[in-house]
Amino acid sequence: METPFLKKLRHGAALTADDEATLVGGLRNVQSFAADRDIVRDGEQSDDVRLVLEGVACRYKLLPNGARSILAFLMPGDFCDLHVAILGRMDHAISALTACRIANIPRTTIEAWTEHHPRINRALWWATLVDEAILRAWLANVGARRGDERLAHLLCELRIRLETVGLAHGNSYHLPLTQQHLADTLGLSIVHVNRVLRQLREAGLVSFRSGRVTISNLDELTRLAGFDPGYLHLQGSVRTGGMIEGEQALLG
Amino acid sequence: METPFLKKLRHGAALTADDEATLVGGLRNVQSFAADRDIVRDGEQSDDVRLVLEGVACRYKLLPNGARSILAFLMPGDFCDLHVAILGRMDHAISALTACRIANIPRTTIEAWTEHHPRINRALWWATLVDEAILRAWLANVGARRGDERLAHLLCELRIRLETVGLAHGNSYHLPLTQQHLADTLGLSIVHVNRVLRQLREAGLVSFRSGRVTISNLDELTRLAGFDPGYLHLQGSVRTGGMIEGEQALLG
DNA sequence: CGAGAAGTTGACGAACCTCAAACGATGTGG
DNA sequence: CCACATCGTTTGAGGTTCGTCAACTTCTCG
């Protein structure tokens, strides 16, 4: 089976056919959410871990000052709340940006995976740590770049991430966000996002129309963004994984 | 033994005396670093995981535009690079802010811990996930608050984190940073940090002089920051931990 | 066709940055 | 002990980035 889920996790560990069957077998209890519905609420204590099968969702925080901050985009193959099993309580909410199909994986299944399937355990760690690496890249992005550079960086990142799960081809991809979503993500106002989009379009770098991103000059966009995809840890990680598994076998 | 390391990890799992002895036993190979020295370089591939025993360090990224973005403060008890064993390569660097004592833990030790000591495994997951939660809080902080609010939020967070490891008492703590460090952390210029510090001091909220933070009005500082410590996952997490361990015992 | 949502534009002001200079503390060599 | 250098802090002036407000246009969908 070629779900985005497997396509993604293969970057994190050298999964066997058995591993993949085990993973796919855990994807029951599929739920559908309409756009703009909360999938997980802030403060919630849940016994299931959720995974995006189709659609796009986001993590977000509502701050006391009324601002909404989008902390991550969750694409097909991304886990919503691997942490909730350990931390016990959500410190942010998750909302569907488009209609979503979400798999609910019981915590006990996750625990069985991590105890009895070392490559799956590794893939889950990898997914968690890549999420953290993306967070660091976003923090540097909003902390140290101008609005146009921030937007360019985000569009470069999403191109790669969507390509990884087979949802982008070449320099164009579907991105069902409003300018308000981009604003809440980049720490800008919606008006400024609109102006920056126009600036990038008129400079011939990228256009964003009716939910589709089309990059017309990837080199220049990458340069403007200062984008280096190393933090996504996509290439070479599987090789290292093999070495570590070898060592684990020696240990065990 | 009452190292900050144990004080911190006890919040993540109900460690037994045996667990604690195992953890302390892994802390060999202690290295010292002078202030301003890199502990781990960007792009490095390491076989050890490092832990701060004494001093303060930081994660940072240097962006192509020349800016330096500080992504985390590492206090005694914090891991520097638990992720490097899985991801294979650092996507940022770690530098000593003050003179530091750093423990080097071989990757094989970490792997033995996570395989054979479920409560330690849980504590390491907890530490990683709390780091991620702090990153989310920082991202929302720089993305959605003004300079004065950002600084107030950071000072509130550090007070709690330092108290957790026994390094803050009441409303004052030692914080060996320059205003340039604060600027790189908050996404502000050093000049603006200076002005905001003055504003907070003159408003009677907090002062920062020669490496010491003194909070004179914690309630008002908390209100200005919109600070809610829930994301640090400090209280109640151990109780939940006990429940989960119970279930794991049933499973095993 | 109408209503609501999203996008677009202009005018103005607030937050923040850069440049530059002065000030203060600390440490070092003479 | 003083002269001096260095590093961090402080303050002012002027400019850029970005936000707010408000109006208008375009799109979408029933």
Q: Are A86 and B144 inside 8 Å of each other by CB?
A: no
Q: What is the pLDDT of residues A79-92, one digit of tens each?
A: 998 888 788 889 99
- HSE-up (13 A, CA, CB side) for residue A26: 23
Is residue B194 within 8 Å of residue B182, measured between CB atoms?
Answer: no
Which of A66, A93, A96, A70 has its CA nearest to residue A81?
A93
Tell whether the model's pLDDT for residue B241 goes beyond 70: no
pLDDT exceeds 70 at position B190: yes
* Half-sphere exposure at residue A192, Cβ-oriented, CA atoms within 13 angstroms: 14
Residue A249: band (very low, low, confident or very high) from pLDDT cuts 50, 70, 90: very low
Q: pLDDT tier at B118 (50, 70, 90 boundaries)?
A: confident
Mean pLDDT of B4-16: 90
* List of chain B residues whose C-beta atoms are within 8 Å of the C-beta of residue A228: 64
Mapped onto helix, strand or coil, the DSSP state of residue A24 is helix
DSSP state of B27: -
Provide the pLDDT for residue A234. Answer: 86
Asked if B119 reaches chain A (Cβ–Cβ under 8 Å), the answer is no
Q: What is the pLDDT of residue B111?
A: 84
Q: Are A63 and A14 in contact (CB under 8 A)?
A: no
Q: Which residues pair with B173 in a beta bridge?
A: B168, B213
CA distance B111 to A128: 17
Query: Is B67 an 8 Å CB contact of chain A?
Result: yes
Q: Tokens 């000049």 identify what position?
A: B191
User: Residue A70 pLDDT > 80, yes or no?
Assistant: yes
pLDDT for the residue numbered B240: 38
pLDDT at position B22 is 95
Helix H, strand E, coil C: the string for B75-117 is CCCCECCCCHHHHCCCCCEEEECCCEEEEEEEHHHHHHHHHHC
User: What was the pLDDT predicted at A3?
Assistant: 84
Confirm or reject contact between B30 and chain A (CB < 8 A).
no
The answer to whether B230 contacts A91, with C-beta atoms less than 8 Å apart, is yes
pLDDT greater than 60 at residue B250? no
Residue A26 has pLDDT above 60, yes or no: yes
Tens-digit pLDDT profile for residues A167-177:
998 899 999 99
Tell me if B88 and A131 make a contact (CB, 8 A cut-off): no
Q: Provide the CA B145 to C1' C13 distance, Å, integer.
A: 18
Tens-place pLDDT, residues A196-233? 999 999 999 999 998 999 999 999 999 999 999 999 99
Query: B213: pLDDT confidence band, cut at 50, 70 and 90?
Result: very high
Terminal alpha carbon distance of chain B: 31
Task: Report the 10 Å Cβ neighbour count for B17.
Answer: 7
CA nearest neighbour of A53 among A89, A105, A18: A105
Report the mean per-residue pLDDT for chain B.
89
Tens of pLDDT, residue by residue over B97-116, are 999 999 999 988 988 888 88
pLDDT reading at B245 higher than 90: no
In this predicted structure, which of B11-20, B74-83, B237-246 has the lowest mean pLDDT?
B237-246
- Check whether B251 has a pLDDT greater than 80: no
Alpha carbon distance B121, B82 (integer Å): 12
Most confident of A132-141, A160-169, B1-10, B165-174: A132-141
- B interface mutation test: which of A132, A247, A251 has the most B CBs within 10 A? A132
Phi, psi angles (nearest 5°) of residue A246: -55, -45
- Quick one: closest CA in B to A115, which residue? B115
For residue B239, what pLDDT band results from cuts at 50, 70 and 90? very low
User: What would the DSSP string read from start to end of A55-78?
Assistant: S-EEEEEE-TTS-EEEEEEE-TT-
Provide the 10 A C-beta neighbour count for residue A161: 22
Among A192, A145, A227, A61, CA closest to B139: A61
Percentage of chain A beyond pLDDT 70 is: 93
Whether the CB of A199 is less than 7 Å away from nucleic strand C comes out as no
Query: Could you tell me where the beta strands, DSSP code E, fall in chain B?
Result: 30-33, 38-40, 48-54, 57-62, 68-74, 93-96, 100-106, 168-169, 172-174, 206-209, 212-215
What confidence category does residue B67 fall into, taking pLDDT thresholds of 50, 70 and 90? very high
Which of B199, B200, B191 lies closest to B221 in space, CA to CA? B200
Place of tokens 């002005």: B195
Give the pLDDT mean for B111-134.
89
3-state secondary structure of B64: coil
Contact, A179 CB vs strand C, < 7 Å:
yes
Q: Residues B247-251: what's their mean pLDDT?
A: 35
Residues belonging to chain A: 252
A244 in contact with B at a CB cutoff of 8 Å?
yes
Counting Cα atoms < 13 Å in the Cβ hemisphere of A206 gives 27
**pLDDT tens-digit readout, A221-231:** 999 999 999 99
Tokens 């981009």 belong to residue: A182
Size of chain B, expressed as the number of residues it contains: 252
pLDDT at position B1 is: 61
- Residue A2 Cα distances to A54, A223, A238, angstroms: 13, 33, 18
Whether the Cβ atoms of residue A75 and residue A165 lie closer than 8 Å to each other: yes
User: A1 falls in which pLDDT band (50, 70, 90)?
Assistant: low
Beta strands in B127-203 (DSSP E): 168-169, 172-174
Write down the pLDDT at residue A251: 32
Q: Could you please report the per-residue DSSP string of A139-177? A: HHHHHHS-HHHHHHHHHHHHHHHHHHTT-EETTEEE---
Measuring CA to CA, which residue among A110, A122, A81, A74 is closest to residue A238?
Answer: A122
Average pLDDT of the residues of chain A:
89
By C-alpha distance, the chain A residue nearest B114 is: A115
Q: Which residues contact A167 (CB under 8 A, 6 or more apart)?
A: A4, A75, A76, A173, A174
CA distance B169 to B78: 19
